[in-house]
Amino acid sequence: MSDVVNRGRHVLVFCASSGSCAPAFHSAAAALGRALARAGDTVVYGGGAVGSMGALANAALAEGGRVVGIIPRFMREREWAHTGISELRLVDDMQQRKREMLAIADAIVTLPGGSGTFEELFEALTSKRLGLFCKPIVILNQSGFYDPLFALLKSSVSERFMSEEHLEMWHAVDDVDHVLPAIAAASPWPEDALRFATR
Ligand code: AMP
């Protein structure tokens, strides 16, 4: 897909705040930030300054990209917010943050992370299941990090808590270079997904 087609797209990235994880996770976040900036995409993320979040934002900015952070006021008060990004949006709480993130996103990328990343991913997946959010969701399964999650989701299907169709809600890639192509290749999600939301 050419840069011209991509221009103006808001790509929402869920990733870790941890500064203690293996440096390779921060490197992948930085590589994604650079790739998005080069493609002319705006990076939307949680607005943090540290960990994979900081690496993503700093790399996109260094490449001349636009970065929008959406962060609850209580986190900014604790000086967790990145002070050098293009736009920092302050919201009242975690719920409003996720609502605003999903409202602005043209695509979502989830990198390895902790409970905060999982919470954001599952909000997006559940919204997609209900037809409230229909954009591509790409999960970077770096070093097999998400293998246990995919196994759990598949067992949710085999136990008939979800349908086979729900396995199409996300696209997994194992290399950060494959993230943008996966967004471009993602199959459309039906707006009437509510029709098959329950089994
Ligand atoms: P996790 O994957 O658990 O590191 O969660 C990332 C999410 O945790 C972010 O989107 C925030 O909700 C929250 N978070 C935790 N620590 C920070 C921090 N130092 N700066 C910004 N956000 C943070």
CA of 115, closest atom in ligand 1 = 3
Q: What is the pLDDT of residue 48?
A: 98
Cα separation, 147 vs 126, in Å, equals: 19
Please give the mean pLDDT across all residues of the chain.
95
Burial of 82 (0-12, 13-18, 19+ CB in 10 A): buried
Cα separation, 104 vs 84, in Å, equals: 21
Q: What is the pLDDT of residue 8?
A: 81
Q: What is the pLDDT of residue 189?
A: 96
Give domain 10-196's CATH number out of 3.40.50.720, 3.90.1150.10, 3.40.50.450, 3.30.420.40: 3.40.50.450
Q: Three-class SS string for 140-168?
A: ECHHHCCHHHHHHHHHHHHCCCCCHHHHH
CA–centroid distance, residue 90 to ligand 1 (Å): 15
Please answer whether residues 145 and 112 qualify as being in contact, where contact means their C-beta atoms are separated by less than 8 angstroms. Answer: yes
Query: 1 pLDDT exceeds 90?
Result: no
DSSP 186: P
138 closest CA partner among 115, 117, 107: 107
Q: What is the pLDDT of residue 4?
A: 44
Q: Which two tokens stand for residue 179?
A: 């993230």
| Domain extents in the chain | 10-196
Please answer whether residues 196 and 128 qualify as being in contact, where contact means their C-beta atoms are separated by less than 8 angstroms. Answer: no
Pairing of strands 42-45, 10-14: parallel
CA–centroid distance, residue 16 to ligand 1 (Å): 6
42 closest CA partner among 104, 90, 124: 104
CA of 113, closest atom in ligand 1 = 2
Q: What is the pLDDT of residue 7?
A: 58
Report the SS3 class of residue 177: helix
Please answer whether residues 55 and 24 qualify as being in contact, where contact means their C-beta atoms are separated by less than 8 angstroms. Answer: no
In short, whether 110's Cβ falls inside 6 Å of ligand 1 is: no
Query: 3 pLDDT exceeds 90?
Result: no
In short, whether 52's Cβ falls inside 6 Å of ligand 1 is: no
174 closest CA partner among 199, 150, 156, 198: 150
pTM of the model: 0.95
pLDDT tens readout for residues 18-68: 999 999 999 999 999 999 999 999 999 999 999 999 999 999 999 999 999
Q: Average of pLDDT values for 179-194?
A: 95
pLDDT tens readout for residues 107-164: 999 999 999 999 999 999 999 999 999 999 999 999 999 999 999 999 999 999 999 9
Query: 198 pLDDT exceeds 60?
Result: yes
Residue nearest to ligand 1 atom 22, measured at CA: 48
102 closest CA partner among 6, 10, 196, 5: 10
